[in-house]
Structure 1
Amino acid sequence: MHLLQLFSRSDITKYTRFRQGEIKFGERIQILSNLEHCFTELKENDSKYVVLGIPEDIGVRANFGRTGTATAWENFLSSFLNIQHNRFCKGNQITILGHLDFTEAMDAASQLDVNQKEDRKQLFKLVESIDKEVSHIVTQIVKADKIPIIIGGGHNNAYGNIKGLALGKAKSVNVINFDAHTDFRPLEGRHSGNGFSYAFEEGFLKNYFIFGLHENYTPKSVFDSIKAVADKVKYNTYEQIRIRKEKSFDTELLAAQKHIDNSFYGIEIDLDSIPQVASSAITPTGFSAERLRQFIHFFGKSKNAGYLHICEGAPNLDTEKNSHLVGKLIAYLVTDFIKINSEKI
């Protein structure tokens, strides 16, 4: 709990641009006041969604990626708290819990060279410590009968999200992942490329579907690993849907739904699947942001949707004039999820 920094009234003032005649999310969003009893307080409030920030890029560093995902949380807040509170989406449905403060771990990671074997092992250990914190917080949110919305950090945090949802529901869970990569790499030590394989190996993840995989960036060994568990892990590729047109986007939504909507599931969104979005593995080709929004609308409507995680955005890697766009995109995705999911009782 000592790493959790509660979002405060002064934080709301810091990020919200108040304007006469308008009501911003920042003026209606719910916050918690007591760190020691925050989850009891959370259980008693009337929000349905809990937003948690994970500003770190240690998992990305350990996976030989470009750092910068630690900057997505604040970037998101600047957009999210200035959304209009209106009949389409209401701020009081949401509690901003705050963020996990990994400053010390980030400082330690910055002194390590991923190309040195012993240093990389230390990075793995740091990621394991992040896993413990994330899974604990997500478990508590789920046990409070709320839906976690997790922002920022690398895709290593999928492991903590999956474990947290599974522990909170006392059963293994499923996941749909909108991603250019499987993140189903070998169990060589924790990093952003193997959160799902670790969760699967440890029994927290049951059925897994990767939507829009990029064929050029998936090793044969990973395809072989997936083939060995083909009844549990399924995928389609971006090239099958948009380039060769062997499959249709809408039909594949249904195929993925059939695989994962028989139990609680997490919705994982990796922003490096959207062209030109500043991220640790930016891509020039892929599904549009509009398609991603439709994807979230489709999977967010189920009563089994257990959490939403949006990761790998790295605003500091964008141009200075466009550095706000990653946070603005994330805010759109979050409200798309809330709008459709809040229709469910």
Structure 2
Amino acid sequence: MDNNLILFTTSKLKKLLKKRPGESKFGEHIRTLNDISNIYEDLKTLDVEYVILGLPEDVGVFANYGNTGTSAAWDATIKVLLNIQNNAFTHADKVLILGHLNFEKVLEKLSKLDQNKAKDIEKARKLVSKIDAEVSNCIYQIVKAGKKPIIVGGGHNNAYGNIKGASLALNTRINVVNFDAHSDFRKEEGRHSGNGFKYAYSEGFLKKYFIFGLHENYTSMDIFKTLDENKNLDYTTFEAMKIRKKPPLQGEMLRALNHISENYFGIEIDCDAIQNIPSSAMTPSGFSVEETRQFVSYFGKDEKATYLHICEAAPTPETETQVGKLITYLITDFIRAHANRNHSV
């Protein structure tokens, strides 16, 4: 494993944990690793099901001319997640917090680039390719060890690394459902947050792809044409479900599940799709937090659900706690849905 992985240590845990008498916190029951030398073997032998990984970067967003800030989501989340209650609903003992990939050097290079210069955008896109390699390597090890990665933060460029890593570990092309206002299936013009799924598809890691909640105002005719002409690609628009109310949300979730569930699949959640959530392309019109949570729960309970990725949230110091709470809800909804498949809790 590359030394860019910073393990989440017990000392970091102690610093962030806010214990209270008479209460048992999530962070008191999660597992951590002490050693980076053989992550695959360590994960394989541990009795955990979910491995949480942070991707604090916004290089892919910058390279797509977006607003940066997605690098802050990981820290915002971990502070909240550790301090929720541990109880029969939260399953903390099945969770390992692995840590985060350290992109400080890449972000330092990024800070010297100018989004208005074509050459700098090209440089940023090369940096995204380096991030791809790190992410896919890490996801590969987690999935190969038989665990489910929960990936937090960064831009949607990281969908590529998630898909590639999972596909190589499972030795098959995987499917994906993407809860998103945008297709992220734009042309291969150098890597950025708007073409991760296109690269994954072209390179043979992604087989079937369903985009849930595309915004009609922000999807080009070319993209619609591409999606309409390929039977492996399907979508439903936000306006069809929520504005025209045809077809209903639940029916479209079932249709999406039918499209992807004959094989292992990833769940991608882009916070741009949730109304008024601080993100790289914040929207005044989007899904509610409850609808987003229902979506994660619905797909998370399927046995073929392989990973969860929550991306594009861009918290400010003022919104850090709210964003941390949102992502924590989505993480625990996924764990609950999966853990409760055979239980009544």
| Same fold, judged at TM 0.5 (above) | yes
Displacement of 1:13 in angstroms is 1.1
One-letter code of the match for 2:340? Answer: E
Residue aligning to 1:277: 277
One-letter code of the match for 1:272? Answer: D
Residue aligning to 2:261: 261
Residue aligning to 1:132: 133
Displacement of 1:344 in angstroms is 4.3
Residue aligning to 2:72: 71
Distance 2:53 2:322 in 1: 20
What runs of 5+ residues in structure 2 fail to find an aligned partner?
Answer: none
Q: What is the aligned residue count?
A: 341
One-letter code of the match for 2:259? Answer: H
Q: How does 1:36-185 map to 2 (within 5 A)?
A: 36-185=37-186
Residue aligning to 1:192: 193
One-letter code of the match for 2:338? Answer: N
Other structure's SS at 2:162 match? helix
One-letter code of the match for 2:229? Answer: A
Displacement of 1:117 in angstroms is 1.8
Other structure's SS at 2:296 match? helix
Displacement of 1:90 in angstroms is 2.0
Displacement of 1:298 in angstroms is 0.7
Residue aligning to 1:340: 337
Residue aligning to 2:313: 313
Displacement of 1:219 in angstroms is 1.3
Pick from 320, 324, 327: which aligns with 1:323? Answer: 320
One-letter code of the match for 2:66? Answer: G
Distance 1:30 1:344 in 2: 22
Other structure's SS at 1:189 match? coil
Residue 219 (1) aligns with residue 220 (2): yes
One-letter code of the match for 1:154? Answer: G
One-letter code of the match for 1:45? Answer: L
Residue aligning to 2:294: 294
Other structure's SS at 2:31 match? coil
One-letter code of the match for 1:134? Answer: V
For residues 51-103 of structure 1, give each alpha carbon's deviation from its aligned partner in whole angstroms, at most 9, with x where no partner exists.
00000000000000000000000000011001111011121110000000000
Distance 1:145 1:344 in 2: 18
One-letter code of the match for 2:264? Answer: F
For residues 149-207 of structure 1, give each alpha carbon's deviation from its aligned partner in whole angstroms, at most 9, with x where no partner exists.
00000000000000011001000000000001100111111000000011001110000
Other structure's SS at 2:191 match? coil
Displacement of 1:39 in angstroms is 2.3
One-letter code of the match for 1:44? Answer: T
8 Å contact from structure 2 (residues 26, 90) kept in 1: no
Distance 2:242 2:337 in 1: 26
Other structure's SS at 2:155 match? coil
For residues 236-268 of structure 1, give each alpha carbon's deviation from its aligned partner in whole angstroms, at most 9, with x where no partner exists.
001001111121001001100110000000000
8 Å contact from structure 2 (residues 39, 141) kept in 1: no
For residues 201-246 of structure 1, give each alpha carbon's deviation from its aligned partner in whole angstroms, at most 9, with x where no partner exists.
11100000000111101111211222232x0110000100111112
Distance 2:341 2:10 in 1: 30
Other structure's SS at 1:315 match? coil
One-letter code of the match for 2:53? Answer: L
Displacement of 1:15 in angstroms is 1.4
Other structure's SS at 1:51 match? strand
Distance 2:57 2:140 in 1: 20
Q: TM-score w.r.t. structure 1 length? A: 0.97
Displacement of 1:120 in angstroms is 1.2
One-letter code of the match for 2:95? Answer: I
Distance 1:51 1:2 in 2: 17
One-letter code of the match for 1:255? Answer: R
What runs of 5+ residues in structure 1 fail to find an aligned partner?
Answer: none
Percent identical pairs in the alignment equals: 51
Other structure's SS at 1:342 match? helix
For residues 104-133 of structure 1, give each alpha carbon's deviation from its aligned partner in whole angstroms, at most 9, with x where no partner exists.
001101111222221111111100000000
Distance 1:207 1:41 in 2: 32
What is the Cα-based RMSD across aligned positions, in Å? 1.0
Distance 1:130 1:203 in 2: 19
For residues 250-296 of structure 1, give each alpha carbon's deviation from its aligned partner in whole angstroms, at most 9, with x where no partner exists.
10011001100000000000001111100000000111110011111
Other structure's SS at 2:185 match? coil
Displacement of 1:35 in angstroms is 0.7
Distance 2:245 2:76 in 1: 36
